[in-house]
Chain A
Amino acid sequence: MEEKLKLDPASFEPLPKADDLDNEKIAAPSLTFLQDAWLRLKKNKGAVISLFILIVMFVVAFGSTFFISHDDLIRSAPQYANLPTKIPGIDINGLNGKLKVAGEWVDIYERNGVPSDVHFILGTDYLGRSLAQRIIYGTKISLIVAVAATFFDLLIGVTYGIVSGWKGGKVDTFMQRVIEVISSVPNLVIVVLMLLVLKPGMTSIICALAISSWTTMARMIRAETLSLKNQEYVLAARTLGESPHKIAWKHLVPNLSSIIIIQTMYTIPGAIFFEAFLSFIGIGISAPQTSLGVLLNDGQKSFQFLTYQMWYPAIVLCVLMISFNLLGDGLRDAFDPKTRR
């Protein structure tokens, strides 16, 4: 069976002992939870692009505060009304100030006698106001609503959830009943009722959202708190006599962070949608203030003839929503590799 093996006797000398025979050796460098999540998120192209888009949108929207004053927004210029897109140097029909009128491309700027040095990159609305400016301002409003809604979501939802889950027993049962009552009325109906009682406007929208939108977060936090409460390390901290506040901060919040972040990423597009929806049906933000919903409502009225007035805000709104959703998905996958889908 064996061939004649010609082996050098030297090859039978003992092998010098390796000194890294550590049973607990871990091959990869250890990463903190957040570093790990960030590495995973970076691999997700959609999420990274979304993050980039959102950062740009935030910077442009809030940076615009210095350039676009409230007066710019409400100052109407009837002589420039309903001008289409004109980008100097580009001669593509639709982007050069021309619009199809009765099947023919007509230079609206020329027809309306607009001076040749005046141009609007996204055109103007029916009062001659720059659509680009209005869209940027509207985006800012949407983002403010989103941020505010998130803030309340965190403040009310997380606290409520932790208290309910941590206290347990009768308190928990009662708190869950309250949530049940709130969630048995469609959110939007609550918002509408709130808007009727309060004065329409941004503050009201934010208040209404604050009241109605935290229940999902509270439910998820409660469920997670319940399961965390019985984890060994929390039990250990309790038996060691740490105060509930300390336990909440030291043990619960860090472990809840991934759920909080993920859920927040779904609250935000929801809030943006609500604002747009309410403004669209005319009970949200109203003139002279503007928002993406108001712009869509205005655009819809003249959609048949001036499609761009609806398309531009619609695209911005959709990009905003898609970006938040993609980023949310990316974060969910990054934080919860187990449920990688």
Chain B
Amino acid sequence: MAERILDVKNLKIDFHTYAGEVKAIRDVSFHLDKGETLAIVGESGSGKSVTTRALMGLLANNAEIKGGSIMFHDQDLLKKTEKEMQNIRGKDIAMIFQDPMTSLDPTMKIGMQIAEPLIKHKKIEKKKALAQALEIMKLVGIKDAEERINNYPHQFSGGQRQRIVIAIALVCYPEILIADEPTTALDVTIQAQILDLMKELQEKIETSIIFITHDLGVVAGMADRVAVMYAGEILEYGTVDEIFYNPQHPYTWGLLNSMPTLDSEELESIPGTPPDLLDPPKGDPFAPRNPYAMKIDAEEKPPYFQVSETHYAATWLLAPGAPAVTPPPEIQRRYKLYAEMMEQQKIGK
């Protein structure tokens, strides 16, 4: 069993807004092992970004943590002061943001921007820090790094800027790297390059990654495990294969169904909109949009039902006594593939 470096338990976060209290995160638990990549998948507003901001201690001023704990090794990050968090941010836990066009300071040379965390955390002098920045620039694949270290962000393309943002995040060799939709703002061709780079660097630097995305397609090649988030809750989590080929929650079905495949003629979508978190539903939050919804879904929140050692889903469909339903054809196809995979694994053993 790998070392568990992060354990989030029962996290609850509210936002105070003019309209009332938005219950953005409602009882979220997950963990992260050393060296693995956890993907958190969900549509916008599902709370995935808020969760990562909580890990970094970077929540907006109107956010209030209502409960839970975030254990990083043996310390609870939620109990840390801002000063203590400053010593963790950028050193032990680092973050990559969505839009590389806006996440770099336009008036500072990029060498200095990369060196800043080193100067802050490793207390090394500027010259040495810049030398290390140069190393990491080469590592993230910036060509002519010696010259470009003195350039300003606007002199780089989007993909190059994201490489620089990655360099900033990795310069202190953090234990956890949080990537918040790191490729969403990039061209598709660049996306693949950045993802490859992240995988490559993960091995070199031995960091664990929390990968936030709304794009299941990106997840497949990137993650070890996947957590599906919806309306401030995690509805289903498991290994990549389990989520992709043996999904149990109707929401996960919907997500997979709406992924374009080679032979799909038109894109499926999930009807409806996510619930209003000012007044969250008391049952399964997905119930109103769920064609398989049952009465109990509207009344009571489903617990996590175990599917396998690593796979849990919060849906009443798994409850003992629940009627068997026929998933959409695409999911059935995946089930078949999953069965074949299991067979092969058995044979392999």
Contact = CB atoms under 8 A, between A and B. Distances in A.
Interface residues of A, number: 18
Interface string B71-100: 000000000000000000000000000000
Nearest to B299: A11
Given A7-B319, A11-B295, A12-B295, 6 more contacts: A7-B320, A11-B316, A13-B294, A17-B291, A22-B272, A25-B273
Contact of A12 (B287, B306, B323): B323
Contacts of B316: 11-12
Interface of A: 1-2, 5, 7, 9-15, 17-18, 21-23, 25, 27
Interface string B318-346: 01111100000000000000000000000
Interface in B277-300: 287-299
Nearest to B272: A21
Nearest to A28: B19
A7 to B, nearest CB: 6
A13 B295 contact: yes
A27 B295 contact: no
Given A7-B319, A13-B294, A15-B298, A2 B289 contact: no
Which of A7, A9, A12, A13 has most B Cβ within 10 Å? A12
Nearest to A4: B320
Given A1-B306, A9-B321, A14 B272 contact: no
A12 B296 contact: yes
B135 interface: no
12 contacts: A2-B320, A7-B296, A7-B319, A12-B294, A12-B323, A14-B293, A14-B294, A14-B295, A17-B291, A23-B271, A25-B272, A27-B276
Nearest to A43: B18
A334 to B, nearest CB: 15
A29 to B, nearest CB: 14
Contacts, number: 54
Interface of B: 269, 271-273, 276, 287-299, 303, 305-306, 316, 319-323
A317 to B, nearest CB: 36
A83 to B, nearest CB: 52
Contact of B305 (A2, A12, A17): A2
Nearest to B283: A15
Contacts of A5: 319-320
B294 A11 contact: yes
Contacts of A18: 272, 288
B306 A7 contact: no
A11 B299 CA distance: 9
A95 B293 CA distance: 77
Contacts of A10: 295
Nearest to B306: A1
Contacts of A1: 306
A13 B295 CA distance: 6
A12 to B, nearest CB: 5
A10 to B, nearest CB: 7
B289 A21 contact: yes
A127 to B, nearest CB: 56
Contacts of B292: 14
A75 B165 CA distance: 77
A23 B270 CA distance: 9
A27 B278 CA distance: 12
A14 B325 CA distance: 11
A21 B271 contact: yes
A235 to B, nearest CB: 25
Contacts of A22: 272
A15 B293 contact: yes
A264 B294 CA distance: 59
A93 to B, nearest CB: 47
Contacts of B319: 5, 7, 12
B293 to A, nearest CB: 4
Which of A15, A17, A18 has most B Cβ within 10 Å? A15
Nearest to A24: B273
Contacts of B272: 18, 21-23, 25
Contacts of A9: 321
Contacts of A13: 294-295
Contacts of B276: 27
Q: Across chains A and B, which 7 residue pairs bring their CB atoms closest together, nearest first?
A: A11-B296, A15-B293, A21-B272, A21-B271, A1-B306, A12-B294, A11-B295
